[in-house]
């Protein structure tokens, strides 16, 4: 990895943490939602929310609720929810 890439990664690390906290806070307040819903609730860009959802899923903090929502274009979207009881890694 190049030095510029390493520096960029380190600078964005705090933003990712802040964005993850905003996403989790929105889900606590609203219960469930698609990435588009969460984007609307938090003011974060949809793409950024989608990236945070994959990180939060890997960390076992959110799961697919089993429900489906729709995107602005009418496609199917995962409805996410917070894990009630964190699973053991």
**pLDDT tens-place string over residues 26-62:** 999 999 999 999 999 999 999 999 999 999 999 999 9
- Enumerate domains of the chain plus CATH numbers: 3-82 (1.10.10.10)
Residue 22's pLDDT band, with cuts at 50, 70 and 90, is: very high
**Per-residue pLDDT for 1 more than 90?**
no
pLDDT in tens, 78-87: 999 999 865 5
8-26: average pLDDT: 83
Query: Which value, to the nearest 10 degrees, does the dihedral of the CA atoms of residues 8, 78, 21, 17 take?
Result: -20
- Cβ 53 vs Cβ 23: under 8 Å: yes
Q: What is the DSSP string of the chain?
A: --HHHHHHHHHHHHHHHHHHHHHHHHHHHHSEE-HHHHHHHH---HHHHHHHHHHHHHTTSEEEEEEEEE-TTS-EEEEEEE-SSPPP-
């Amino acid at each position: 990895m190049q030095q510029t890439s390493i520096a960029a990664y380190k600078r964005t690390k705090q933003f990712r943490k802040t964005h993850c906290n905003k996403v989790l806070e929105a889900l606590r307040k609203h219960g469930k939602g698609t990435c588009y819903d969460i984007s609307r609730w938090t003011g974060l860009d949809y793409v950024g929310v989608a990236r945070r959802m994959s990180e939060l899923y890997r960390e076992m903090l959110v799961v697919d609720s089993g429900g489906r929502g729709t995107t602005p274009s009418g496609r199917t979207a995962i409805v996410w929810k917070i894990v009630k009881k964190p699973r053991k890694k």
